[in-house]
Chain A
Amino acid sequence: MNLNLAAFERFAVIFQPGDLIFSEYEPGDSFYLIQSGRVQISKVMGDIEKTIDILYPGEIFGEMAILEEAPRSANAVALDQVKALEFNRANFEILMRGNPQIALKLLKLFTKRIYDQRRRFMILTLGDIQARVLDVFLMLAETDGNPPENTEGHEFKTTIEDIAHWAGLPTEKCREVINHFASQNRIEVYPDRMLVKNINEFSRFVNSRRRAAE
């Protein structure tokens, strides 16, 4: 991107690896444009901290609090030494005006995030626990683009804990469901991955449960 940022160099801030840049629920009056290093965006949910996103140079974070004057909606942690430009609310518009590419990028990012959350919401509205677990596989299949051809089925680099998280279920409950499908030979479970024999079958199962609920 050809950015018009020279005028903003004086807003540069440095974070060390592991630094908490901001915490969820903090009142926020600044946002950041990453210049170097990576930033992890996460949310604490009960007893676990879930990574929502990992951001790279050129990306923006912290803008939601600016746009809505609401508290931070997630934690931001520096993964490496991070150099970022820190802007306040007044500068947000100035930056966007001078750099419509950034504005556009941000707009696209929002559309993706909204879609992902709506998809997640759809999973959670399923009353049938089995359908919920299978729908997580469908969602993961939708987002992993074009996985390498595998004649044995669709491979997922995921764990039962992860699936349980997305399905909003206790890990044990989720394990029961997955074991059930494993006993029917529809899923193979390995320590670091799972193999779904026929993903279309899952799709039919979920759709029938979703329709039944309507």
Chain B
Amino acid sequence: MAPKAMAFKANSVIYFQGDLSDKIFILKSGKVSLNSQDIETGQEVRELIQMGEFFGVKSALGRYPREENALVLGDASVLQFSVPEFEQFISTNTRVIMKMMKVFSNQLRRIHIRVNGLLNIDEKSDPEKGLITIGEYYLKKRMYAQALHVFRRYLTYYPSGKFSEAAMRNCKAAEQSAQKYGTGKGPEPAVVSASTSSSVSAAAAAASGAGGGNEALKKVFYNAVGLFSQNNFMEALKGFKKVIETGGDEEYTIKSMFEMGRCLFQLKQYDQCIRHFTGLIQKYPKMPDLAEALFCTGQCYEAKNEKEKAVGFYKKIFSMSAENDPVRRKVMKALRALEEARA
């Protein structure tokens, strides 16, 4: 069986809308137009087939009725394939498959956008905002691991994006809730929403004059956070160092020093990590991440097999942290593991 050559006179019809058929055509010469009506507006849509182009592919492969009339505008010769013949043909013509795939993929995306348009879902306009919205959805649903994934990816792709501050805070909320309550449990976390936070940070920027230099600093910081989440601790460490060297914003300096310690731990430079955190805690005894810094120090001692010292740090966190502090859960777990190892 081979594809069949066929000739059509001008003003004839190759197939009608609504026909069911398994035939696929390729235009060799002449003029063929595919006419259909736009689903939404009813307006007539005409698409002229190019020489060498396939038509009738989707309805034949998908086994559904033809969606358009194929009208011959000027005497045309075509090759007609059955589905198996077509499959045989394109198996040896990957270039054709790739081209068709691109066309189909694009059509699918366009129809998606129109469907969402009717549903009043505003998307595609801003993938950056879209991504953060998905993270917020997961966080609200208490799917913490998924939320973390999305916010971390956000920080990777948009280290100094409009919502990086919100992403950071939501990351933290997701981490804490996951530790404290576990997947699907706990109260709905306080989500820092992209729509509100952007106006808040804009207002803050306006109030502080413009923080131009600050923006550059934040960019370096979030870029490093992104690197950390990709497990690239070496480069992250360099980034945090740079923030500290640049200076000018104490909040970011402290944050960066804390993150540097975490990098050192991940890089298994335990002695250096202990020294780093000890210095940091002495300098900023009231730093926000104090409990985490102590915990990380304890972990270093544990890794160095100095269990007594590790236990000392864990117990200290326990005595100073509030009842509901998520770090307690981690500490309890670590203590229990140590006791079990001893027993």
Contacts and interface: CB of A to CB of B under 8 A. Distances in A.
A153 B130 CA distance: 43
Given A25-B131, A100-B91, A110-B108, A214 B153 contact: no
A100 B105 contact: no
Nearest to A100: B91
A63 B105 contact: yes
Contacts of B153: 23, 26
Interface size class of B (residues with CB under 8 A): 35 or more
B102 A120 contact: no
Nearest to B148: A20
Interface stretch (A5-13, A69-77, A178-186, A193-201): A69-77
Nearest to A74: B112
Nearest to A101: B91
A45 B133 CA distance: 10
Given A23-B150, A49-B137, A100-B91, A64 B108 contact: yes
B91 A104 contact: yes
Contact of B98 (A45, A93, A112): A93
Nearest to B60: A111
Interface stretch (B27-35, B113-121, B296-304, B317-325): B113-121
A24 B153 CA distance: 11
A63 B105 CA distance: 9
A75 B149 CA distance: 12
Interface residues of A, number: 48
B30 to A, nearest CB: 26
A103 interface: yes
Nearest to A104: B87
Nearest to A21: B149
A3 interface: no
A23 B97 contact: no
A168 B115 CA distance: 10
Interface in B68-110: 87, 90-92, 94, 97-98, 100-102, 104-109
Contacts of A121: 39-40, 111, 114-115, 118
B101 A114 contact: no
B168 interface: no
Nearest to A16: B145
A19 B183 CA distance: 12
A150 B177 CA distance: 50
Contacts of B94: 93, 96-97, 100, 103
Nearest to A24: B134
B58 interface: yes
Interface of B: 39-40, 42, 57-59, 61-62, 64, 67, 87, 90-92, 94, 97-98, 100-102, 104-109, 111-112, 114-115, 118-119, 121, 127-128, 130-131, 133-135, 137, 141, 145-146, 149-150, 153, 157, 183
Given A19-B145, A110-B101, A114-B58, 5 more contacts: A18-B183, A27-B157, A47-B137, A106-B101, A107-B100
